Amino acid sequence: MGSRDIAVLVVGLVVLFLISIGNVNGYPMEDLVVNLPGQPKVDFRQFAGYIDVDIKTGKSLFYYYVEAQGDASKKPLTLWLNGGPGCSSMGGGAFTELGPFFPRGDGRALRRNPKSWNKASNLLFVESPAGVGWSYSNTTSDYTTGDAATARDMHLFLMGWFEKFPELKSRDLYLTGESYAGHYIPQLANALLDHNKYSSDFKFNIKGLAIGNPLLNLDKDVPATYEYFWSHGMISDEVGLTIMNECSFDDYTFDSPHNVSKSCISAIGEANAIVGNYIDNYDVILDVCYPSLVEQELRLRKMATKISVGVDVCMSYERRYYFNLPEVQHALHANRTGLNYSWSMCSSILNYSDTDGNIDILPILKRIIQHHIPVWIFSGDQDSVVPLLGSRTLVRKLAQDLNFKITLPYSAWFHKKQVGGWVTEYGNLLTFATVRGASHMVPYAQPSRALHLFSSFVSGRSLPVSEPSDD
């Protein structure tokens, strides 16, 4: 081999090397998160960065992608969205519910979440819409938005994201979330199905939807809150009966005063006062974290951790502290434009349509199921905000509308020889499952049961309903 050949070889290798640091196996290495401050060592990779969804107005969505633990290339891809509208999937799903790390008690470092959902799937978290977390727009009018624009932007986001991660384009795709994601996820799936219908090229490989404590239909979800208060002894019998007899929640809307009597309005006011401010409406069993105390303790560098029934109820304060550390934002490639407000769990700059909350999601779910895509609605049974009482009825109505028969009668499901909750299935495609002892944020309050449910969902298995044996 002459020296010219060697030179060519060296140049060739350098070129190869440069290509590979830009994009190894179809992964954008500029988005690789090398190490988060205070992060325990792990053997899976993390990526974070931005996808522009509107070049003209300068709108860009932030994502955080965590590879699965072990065999990442064989595991599916799951998108998770938190709700609000306007709340952060980073602060919610990724770092306090189902991601691989939780903030440590002093807000300065991370600890492992032993029940992370990345045991079963690769996980993608997106701050959606622009104005949430580190997603932004250079044009403030973009912050006036609603369901349709949010779904459109998420569709564009996914197109752009798959350009960065081409290897994942054909991977089985699961769409998941909680709360107001009961609006986001079905409307996104609907947009992706439209895409698939008209695209002769790339199609989204949607394999299932799972949504926890989802807002689906205000007419049913709102009265369920008062029924929940009543059935859990949080209001008196008198007030409960007044609400049930005097209030009509049909055609309920968030924005305009609905057609209710004076006695109904006063009973609702009374109910809210009796429930009081010292209860976490998202989990009526857990103790609450007193913010003033935590803020002080975080400043004094003490551990703020307050444990109630095994759950750190102060995690929301620790996470806000952690995400506002400049070195954390730098490691995540976040806030690259120096946004002039601090990171918060739920956006204060977003002007989200309050009429879109009234959209009935059932017809959209119906279309999705008619495409033979399995839908799971799961429900933490300690949540009074979107309680199981509404979701269970809505799922049954949806099943009726689809002419589905019960394919799994309502039964207890088991995990670790205990009842994990109750489950029923319709038409082998529509599942309703409760998670016993779980809050609105199911994976936060019941990590092990939640992981079991999620693993079953992504592997196409029903929840196990046979009674545990003694061995």
Ligand X SMILES: *[C@@H]1O[C@H](CO)[C@@H](O)[C@H](O)[C@H]1NC(C)=O
Least Å distance between CB 252 and ligand X? 12
Q: Is 292 in the site for ligand X (CB under 6 A)?
A: no
Q: Is 333 a catalytic residue?
A: no
Residue 95 CB coordination number (10 Å): 25
Least Å distance between CB 458 and ligand X? 32
Q: How many helices (H) and strands (E) does the chain have?
A: 13, 19
What track of x and - describes contact with ligand X for positions 228 through 267 (by CB under 6 A)? Answer: -------------------------------x--------
Q: Which is nearer to ligand X, 125 or 376 (CB)?
A: 125
Q: Which of 20, 35, 73, 144 binds ligand X (CB under 6 A)?
A: 144
Q: Is 341 in the site for ligand X (CB under 6 A)?
A: yes
Return d(Cα 209, Cα 211) in angstroms, integer.
7
Q: Which is nearer to ligand X, 137 or 431 (CB)?
A: 137
Q: Is 335 in the site for ligand X (CB under 6 A)?
A: yes
Where do runs of H (alpha helix) occur along 348-387?
362-370
Return d(Cα 445, Cα 284) in angstroms, integer.
11
Q: Is 469 a catalytic residue?
A: no
What track of x and - describes contact with ligand X for positions 100 through 139 (by CB under 6 A)? Answer: ----------------------------------x---x-
Strand partners, 302: none
Q: Is 179 a catalytic residue?
A: yes
Selecting among 142, 221, 280, 383, the annotated active-site residue is 383
Could you tell me the CA-to-CA distances from 35 to 31, 89, 101 in Å, in that order?
A: 12, 20, 12
- Both tokens of 459, joined, read 């592997």
Contact 127, 121 (CB under 8 A): no
Q: Is 329 in the site for ligand X (CB under 6 A)?
A: yes
- Both tokens of 248, joined, read 């009509």
Within positions 46 to 75, which residues make up the interface with ligand X, using CB under 6 A? 52, 58, 60
Q: Dihedral through CA 34, CA 27, CA 118, CA 110, nearest 10? A: 10
What track of x and - describes contact with ligand X for positions 342 through 361 (by CB under 6 A)? Answer: xx-------x----------
Return d(Cα 341, Cα 197) in angstroms, integer.
41
Could you tell me the CA-to-CA distances from 187 to 149, 301, 363 in Å, in that order?
A: 10, 43, 11
Least Å distance between CB 94 and ligand X? 15
Q: Which is nearer to ligand X, 340 or 469 (CB)?
A: 340
Which residue in 171, 175, 169, 170 sits closest to 154, CA to CA?
175
Instruction: List the catalytic residues.
Output: 179, 383, 440
Where on the chain is the footprint of ligand X (CB under 6 A)? 52, 58, 60, 134, 138, 140, 144, 259, 329, 335, 337-343, 351
